[in-house]
Amino acid sequence: MTFDLTPEQDQLRDAVRALGRRYGHSYFVEKARAGEHTTELWAEAGRLGYLGVNIPTEYGGGGGGITELAIVCEELAAAGCPLLLLVVSPAIAATVLSRHGTEEQRKRHLPGLADGSQKIVFAITEPEAGSNFHRLGTVARRDGDGWLLNGRKCYISGVDEAGHVLVVARTEDSSTGKLKPALFLVPTDAAGLTRSKLDMEIVSPENQFLLYLDDVRVPADALLGESLDAGLPALFAGLNPERITVAAMGAGTGRYAIERASEYTATRKVWGGRSIGSHQGVSHPLAHAAVQVELARLMIQKAGTLYDAGRDLEAGVAGNMAKYAAGEAAALAVDTAVQVLGGAGMTTEYGVATLLGAVRAGRIAPVSREMILNFVAQHVLGQDKSY
Ligand SMILES: Cc1cc2nc3c(=O)[nH]c(=O)nc-3n(C[C@H](O)[C@H](O)[C@H](O)COP(=O)(O)OP(=O)(O)OC[C@H]3O[C@@H](n4cnc5c(N)ncnc54)[C@H](O)[C@@H]3O)c2cc1C
């Protein structure tokens, strides 16, 4: 067992940290408030190879694993730039394409994802189905040599920044007559695909959308993979990378908040010559949050290591636990940071309250804490399903 990163991973961590710090949280907030995207940061991260660290080298990537991508997610978040689209485009879409796309799809999409010139977002959530993906109502029907898609999706992140949406739909299996899931690469400018932006209480340059698919016609090669059989494994292939990288983003955000708060409490004096951080009522909550964040980081490291070793089932348990732990730790860290900063905690200038919405959402999305507890109860503790 080792807790050390490889020299290459250490270098990656230092380099991404330096990049994140050059932009910082004020850049992130300014972009969000102006309704703009973090285009410069994304482009630079792409140019430096950070967006493609987990993409195979033959498609322009760095040939690393989810451990490397988690480092990128954590360090940018630790610099105050938690970019959700890292979870969607390089983690979910690139993994699904690398593992289950056709050779033609890999060649067409992966180089652009690797250098950051292309983004592919992911649409599974629907208004009616919610957490229960077995109830998905978006349907793909064969139409000549292509497909016709109809349905509704909600909370889909980054559609306005992406060239394609990876849409999860149901198709009819001609051999059994049963509906089975399939993934489709739908261009965001496809006829019949419309969107409306959701107003979210999150300070973020990345937006969520309602998506309407009304007779969206896509060619046969929009179906991800060689056949309909690729659908379910492709869907599951995206889950572990999603959980591990979103957990890393949470851990990075927690670190960022604790660092801001510690700097403040170490120097702020209101009673005589003592810093407020010398009062245990102030320092213990911060120390407690730091312990929770560090525990989550350990679980993220374990999940990444298992995933990169091809141990998908064990990575599933560890990844879910990491996501749960990091989601809770990030929310605790940001809330504690706001509290110990007092009034300054609620100002934009000190840059912690701006993260309240994002960390709160991190306990709901991309998978809620309750659904993770259901997973652990069933798969680790052997309990029956209640639903
Ligand atoms: C900021 C943000 C970005 C997002 N980006 C994307 C995206 O890019 N693509 C995408 O497809 N989706 C995205 N989502 C959607 C997200 O994945 C869902 O919101 C999440 O999976 C929960 O689904 P729901 O909102 O339908 O909640 P519901 O399923 O309606 O659940 C509501 C509440 O009930 C609980 N609950 C439901 N069923 C059970 C049960 N059986 N046992 C215990 N508790 C239960 C849930 O945990 C939750 O707390 C995003 C959401 C947010 C907030």
Residues 6 or more apart whose CB falls under 8 angstroms from that of 52 comprise 46, 60, 61, 62, 90, 94, 110, 113, 114, 115, 116
Q: State how far the Cα of 14 lies from the Cα of 7, in Å rounded to an integer.
A: 11
307-349 confidence digits (pLDDT tens): 999 999 999 999 999 999 999 999 999 999 999 999 999 999 9
Beta 179-187 vs 164-172: how paired, if at all?
antiparallel
Residue 321: what pLDDT?
98
88-114 confidence digits (pLDDT tens): 999 999 999 999 999 999 999 999 999
Q: State how far the Cα of 25 lies from the Cα of 200, in Å rounded to an integer.
A: 19
Beta 120-123 vs 164-172: how paired, if at all?
parallel
Q: State how far the Cα of 248 lies from the Cα of 307, in Å rounded to an integer.
A: 14
Residue stretches of the chain with pLDDT short of 70: 174, 177
Residue 172: what pLDDT?
79
Nearest residue by C-alpha to atom 38 in ligand 1: 131
Residue 5: what pLDDT?
92
Q: What is the residue type of 96?
A: V
C-alpha 31 to ligand 1 mean position (Å)? 26
Regarding pTM above 0.95, the answer is yes
Residue 177: what pLDDT?
67
Ligand 1 nearest atom to the CA of residue 158, by list position: 8
Residue 179: what pLDDT?
75
C-alpha 95 to ligand 1 mean position (Å)? 22
Q: Is 146 exposed, middle or buried (0-12, 13-18, 19+ CB in 10 A)?
A: middle
Residue 174: what pLDDT?
66
Pocket probe mutation, ligand 1, options 85, 155, 199, 378, max atoms within 8 Å of Cβ:
155
Ligand 1 pocket, CB under 6 A: 88, 121-125, 130-131, 155-157, 202, 208, 361, 364-368, 370-371, 374, 387
Convert the chain into a string of H (helix), E (strand) and C (coil): CCCCCCHHHHHHHHHHHHHHHHHHHHHHHHHHHCCCCCHHHHHHHHHCCCCCCCCCHHHCCCCCCHHHHHHHHHHHHHCCCCCCHHHHHHHHHHHHHHHHCCHHHHHHHHHHHHHCCCCEEEECCCCCCCCCHHHCCCEEEEECCEEEEEEEEEEEECHHHCCEEEEEEEEECCCCCCEEEEEEEEECCCCCEEEEECCCCCCCCCCEEEEEEEEEEECHHHECCCCHHHHHHHHHHHHHHHHHHHHHHHHHHHHHHHHHHHHHHHHCEEECCEEHHHCHHHHHHHHHHHHHHHHHHHHHHHHHHHHHCCCHHHHHHHHHHHHHHHHHHHHHHHHHHHHHCHHHHHCCCCCCHHHHHHHHHCCCCCCCHHHHHHHHHHHCCCCCCCC
Ligand 1 nearest atom to the CA of residue 202, by list position: 1
Q: Looking only at Cα atoms, what is the longest distance across the chain?
A: 80
Q: Cα torsion for 122, 37, 332, 289, to the nearest 10°? A: 110
